[in-house]
């Protein structure tokens, strides 16, 4: 028996939450956007009414207001959105215990075992839509499939456009509905891979589904076969309640309030990013072997880079991470202004696991320092103790303290 999996997508989630909390805005165009003074003034969500005026997600707020000057502007409340998303997860567990959050506004659920109790898939989808509207004031679009990739693509390509908000992709209709779509619409295909496929004459998903698998394996290995299987609607990954129990990486990204051109200023940011990554790793009881740095250039110079290095020992100490990140940055920076930076700790392992010791890494001394700093952070906050470099004007420590994802809580 095929599984029955839903991808539940909450339409314009941030904007929907704001309208549910403030009914007086229900019939008005509403935009959720960051603070333009901190260069986070981009549209995070626009309600359907605002979208009718041409407002787009991720465009600058000033540009959106030229299209829709009468729009209601709401600053994001990230902690509240997280709380609502968690409540939605709990709500969906009334239909099945197999609920997997995919993002803050999307959740997979496996209702295979719930069919005898709640009825056929479309009936369950309708019930979820109605009750989500009643409980949260949020309209949901639902993709249905025998696996997660088909459920996701059913929602993205058809559920979001169908007047019912519900669509099903399965083995019986992928030839009609999935294969004619552009190859860029295949789950897992990014812009660069789309260019590679197009150059090979693979312009539609159906072209990939019929492409010789040995040639894909030869060029891209496991990933080539994975995309080929996806194009045929094949996916064996279960809906898992433990998706985020084990992490593969811990990172932190920062968009700067203005373009940084001086290396001393960028190093301040790299240090603050390294401190945050180290603290998150310790909080989740992880250490990592690989440090990576990502740099984005200005919009005028779409130049950036991603570099990584493997350390001779596992660590969750900020200065170990910073020294690696700074070396990667110094070796690769082209002296063009920097718009955003990210530091990530990869190849994680639990602190309790056995690991290679470094006789010169002063592990016990670092562990004692980490413990002391973490206790201060937990009791008094991130601004209670910090390095002198964070007093420089380029520092973003205090500006971002108390924010989530760079936005207001």
pLDDT tens readout for residues 202-220: 999 999 999 999 999 999 9
CATH architecture observed for domain 1-170: 2-Layer Sandwich (3.30)
Separation in Å, CA 159 to CA 169, 189, 403: 10, 20, 33
**How far apart, in whole angstroms, are the C-alpha atoms of residue 245 and residue 254?**
25
Please, what sign has the CA dihedral across residues 261, 407, 399, 345?
A: negative
Domain ranges, ordered by start, for the chain: 1-170, 175-231, 249-408
The tens digit of pLDDT for each residue in 21-53 reads 999 999 999 999 977 665 557 899 999 999 999
The tens digit of pLDDT for each residue in 352-382 reads 765 555 555 566 677 777 788 778 877 777 6
Active-site entry in 18, 100, 106, 168:
106
The tens digit of pLDDT for each residue in 220-250 reads 999 999 999 999 999 999 998 875 555 678 9
**How far apart, in whole angstroms, are the C-alpha atoms of residue 29 and residue 27?**
7
Binding site feature residues: 9, 105
DSSP state of 114: G
Cβ-contact 282, 239 below 8 angstroms: no
Separation in Å, CA 301 to CA 116, 195, 234, 334, 339: 57, 21, 40, 11, 10
Range 109-122 average pLDDT:
95
Average pLDDT across the chain, whole number: 88
User: What count of other Cβ atoms lies within 10 Å of the Cβ of residue 156?
Assistant: 18
Q: Which residue has the tokens 């080929």?
A: 228
User: Considering the chain, what percentage of its residues have pLDDT values greater than 90?
Assistant: 64
The pLDDT score that the predictor gives to residue 352 is: 74
CA atoms in the 13 A half-sphere facing the CB of 252: 25
Same fold, 1-170 and 175-231: no
Confidence band, pLDDT 50/70/90 cuts, at residue 132: very high
Q: Which residue has the tokens 């200023």?
A: 265
Angle at 15 between CA 106 and CA 251, to 5 degrees: 55
Q: What is the DSSP secondary-structure string of 243-278?
A: TTTS-SEEEEEEEEEEEE--HHHHHHHHHHHHHHHH
The pLDDT score that the predictor gives to residue 365 is: 73
3-class DSSP state of 24: helix
User: What count of other Cβ atoms lies within 10 Å of the Cβ of residue 284?
Assistant: 14
pLDDT tops 60 at residue 133: yes
pLDDT tops 80 at residue 346: yes
Binding site feature residues for Mg(2+): 9, 105
Fold (topology level) of 175-231: DNA polymerase; domain 1 (1.10.150)
The CATH superfamily holding the domain 249-408 is DNA polymerase, Y-family, little finger domain (3.30.1490.100)
pTM for the complete prediction? 0.73
Give me 34's structure tokens: 């960051």
**How far apart, in whole angstroms, are the C-alpha atoms of residue 389 and residue 272?**
9
User: What count of other Cβ atoms lies within 10 Å of the Cβ of residue 255?
Assistant: 16
C-alpha radius of gyration, the chain, whole number: 24
The tens digit of pLDDT for each residue in 159-170 reads 999 899 999 999
Question: Is 106 one of the annotated active-site residues of the chain?
Answer: yes
């Amino acid at each position: 028996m095929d599984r029955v999996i839903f991808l539940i997508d909450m339409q314009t989630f941030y904007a929907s939450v704001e309208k549910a909390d403030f009914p007086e805005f229900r019939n008005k165009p509403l935009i959720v956007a960051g603070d333009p003074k901190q260069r986070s003034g981009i549209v995070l969500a626009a309600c359907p009414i605002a979208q009718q005026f041409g407002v787009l997600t991720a465009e600058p707020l000033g540009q959106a207001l030229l299209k829709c000057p009468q729009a209601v502007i709401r600053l994001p409340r990230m902690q509240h959105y997280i709380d609502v998303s968690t409540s939605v997860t709990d709500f969906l567990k009334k239909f099945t215990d197999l609920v997997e959050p995919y993002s803050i506004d999307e959740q997979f659920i496996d209702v295979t075992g719930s069919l005898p109790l709640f009825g056929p898939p479309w009936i369950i989808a309708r019930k979820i839509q109605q009750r989500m509207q009643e409980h949260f004031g949020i309209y949901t679009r639902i993709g249905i499939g025998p696996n997660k990739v088909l459920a996701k693509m059913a929602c993205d390509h058809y559920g979001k456009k169908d007047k019912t908000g519900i669509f099903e992709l399965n083995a019986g209709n992928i030839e009609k509905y999935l294969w004619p779509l552009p190859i860029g619409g295949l789950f897992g295909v990014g812009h660069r891979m789309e260019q590679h496929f197009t150059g090979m004459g693979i312009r539609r998903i159906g072209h990939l589904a019929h492409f010789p698998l040995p040639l894909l394996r030869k060029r891209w290995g496991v990933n080539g076969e994975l995309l080929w299987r996806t194009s045929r609607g094949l996916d064996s990954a279960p809906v898992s309640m433990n998706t985020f129990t084990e992490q593969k990486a811990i990172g932190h990204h920062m968009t700067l309030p203005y373009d940084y051109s001086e290396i001393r200023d960028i190093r301040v940011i790299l240090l603050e990013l390294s401190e945050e990554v180290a603290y998150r790793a310790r909080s989740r009881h992880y250490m990592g072997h690989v440090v990576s740095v990502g740099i984005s250039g200005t919009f005028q110079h779409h130049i950036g880079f991603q570099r990584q290095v493997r350390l001779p020992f596992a660590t969750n100490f900020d200065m170990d991470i910073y020294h690696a990140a700074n070396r990667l940055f110094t070796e690769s920076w082209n002296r063009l202004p920097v718009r955003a930076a990210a530091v990530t700790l990869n190849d994680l392992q639990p602190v309790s696991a056995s690991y290679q010791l470094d006789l010169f890494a002063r592990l016990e001394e670092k562990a004692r320092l980490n413990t002391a700093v973490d206790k201060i952070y937990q009791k008094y906050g991130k601004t209670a103790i910090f390095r002198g470099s964070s007093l420089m004007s380029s520092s973003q420590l205090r500006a971002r303290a108390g924010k989530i994802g760079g936005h207001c809580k």
